[in-house]
Amino acid sequence: MKLSPSKNAEAIAKQYLKHEFRKIFNDLDEKTFRRLDRSIDNFLNREEESSFWNLLAGISEGWKIKYVFHNLSDAKYRWKLETIPVDKIILTGMSPTIDKYTIKKLDRDPLKFAAAWRADGLMRKEIKATGLAAHPERDHFPVLVYKEGDGYKVFDGMRRTLMALINGKKEIKVWAGYPANKKGKPLVSTNRCFFLANLYALSDKKDKKKIEAALLPIGRQIVKNFRNGDEVLAKRIAGWSHDKNIQRIFTKMSK
């Protein structure tokens, strides 16, 4: 199965890894980051597609709690690099302190945020205290959005978006996802399915029948809603496990 839904989705995934590694390893210099960027660009020449997408899942779903892996692996989207007006942006969650303003008070409206930033000193103080600031070494990366109604909803790059609004920018560079294939589905990460196997393996003997009964419909939903669900459950989890019960349960999920 071809895991990368498109060349652009793959390119955006590489961009995301480059951006996040600059946060994780922020004590490195730009020369080292350029070497790391080249290594990321050549990743698929060294490793299988599944390793690349599971790495993306590990960073976006593990280190972060974001929909980056889900959205970029979703075959329903067509991705375009664009510059769009900031007033078309739909603000999304970032942290409880910032969300109190951007979502609850300002209705996800970028222009309301820009106006409030100029007028509300308490808001500025509280948001600055969260660490919101410019980071020139990674601010050049386009924000990741997808089309929703008349706007574009941010799923990665809220800090860059807010900094653009604070600095009075009228436009912002984005990778925009447009729904183009109604039958398209995302990938499920191996890690999420492995968690289900661990849940069963670590359960008390007296609970195993109940856990199995609960896991089976979850597994069938994974097969139904994710384009690699059957492959991950039957081949990666059941196929690699030495536990006969896990082999039986996870194979049964795909039937």
- What are the structural domain ranges in the chain? 7-66, 80-179, 190-253
Residue 248 pLDDT more than 80?
A: yes
Q: Check if the beta carbon of residue 146 is closer than 8 Å to that of residue 152.
A: yes
Q: What is the mean pLDDT of residues 170-186?
A: 97
Is 0.85 topped by the overall pTM? yes
Confidence of residue 255 (pLDDT cuts 50, 70, 90): confident
Q: Check if the beta carbon of residue 161 is closer than 8 Å to that of residue 110.
A: yes
- What percentage of residues in the chain have a pLDDT greater than 70? 100
Output the CA torsion sign for 44, 47, 51, 56: negative
CATH 3.90.1530 fits 80-179, yes or no: yes
Confidence of residue 191 (pLDDT cuts 50, 70, 90): very high
Confidence of residue 210 (pLDDT cuts 50, 70, 90): very high
255 SS3 class? coil
Q: What is the mean pLDDT of residues 6-34?
A: 96
Measure the CA–CA gap between 43 and 194, rounded to whole angstroms: 24
Measure the CA–CA gap between 161 and 170, rounded to whole angstroms: 11
